[in-house]
Structure 1
């Protein structure tokens, strides 16, 4: 999962970042309304942690921007405010959930996972396509019911491809989604090719079909029409 935490309190932002990083997620930080808006225009995220009180704007206005731009990220509002009207405004404005400061990081994590399941995985932790099955709770992948020996990054890559099946994903978008926004400035994305190559090899060794098409000059596509 790739998360953008919009939080002006750098101590809280750092705690969220470090916790989610330990859980294996990519977590990017934005400390202001303008910085968050710029990142949302440039990059994609599975979930957004949105503080309502920002030094240069209101989080509810950023939520309106997210909906106006048709950004498909899940939104979890985080705020020190515990007023009912703030919760209602956020939820009616399109947020998926609301958590009040101070909160426990494991609870934040659980709420993020719940949003991700609802938004991206049809409410389930099990994603299946033909002979391929992915368990997002245990991070286990199987092909023809046999366990696939893959790394965490390979698991995340396969999940990203399956969730976005039949869509062309550029090497750049794959890199930023799985390794972070900093990769946007890299000269090449050969490491993406290497991970795709390894994943194909392991699936093939388990007698799985090669659903991953190379779209020359663009990137890759998980082709569901293959049999």
Structure 2
């Protein structure tokens, strides 16, 4: 039986911006799916800072709404980290589109609030296995031109979505879970790979892409906001999220 037929745990956040070091989580969703059984947890968080207008345009959450209805960050972050750590410790993959952004931001938020890191909650300290359709599509169809946002890949792989629903964390997670199956149908080796091997392939695929893309950006005179080669969690840095990360979000 393929891992595609087993439990998968989808994860997504909506945020105050695109810096994994400095921005905050505003909403988050974790959806656990085993076959046709689906359970959903969502959080609305008061990030403790102003939510910029540009971010509100994306996800619809204003500072006033978050302050009135959101929970304290530490409470939500602890719950999110425990759910993800339990899944990873059991060998169930965490599925996230542009996983480096969401997982790196989660780790930064946990540190900011004095909570145990996600990595430290998992035996062996490795955030694994993770499945990221953005990394996989970029690797498996590397020469295809065009954008690779979530809506673009859903269109390409015939995953039905309502475009207006995307940028709500739970809608993004459901679309991403469907996208994993669509990708595996297009590239059957995905489903026959062991999760540990697939995770390792994504580490190398992302590193190769980030190194190449950073070199390209430098050749054009860009020295800031370069993509980080670590995956699925990037080490903290002064640089903002990569240009590709920002494009995938906005």
Same fold by TM-score greater than 0.5: no
> Larger relative CO (CA 8 A, sep 6+): 1 or 2?
2
Larger-Rg structure: 1
| Structure (1 or 2) with the greater strand fraction | 1
Taking structure 2 as the reference length, the TM-score comes to 0.30
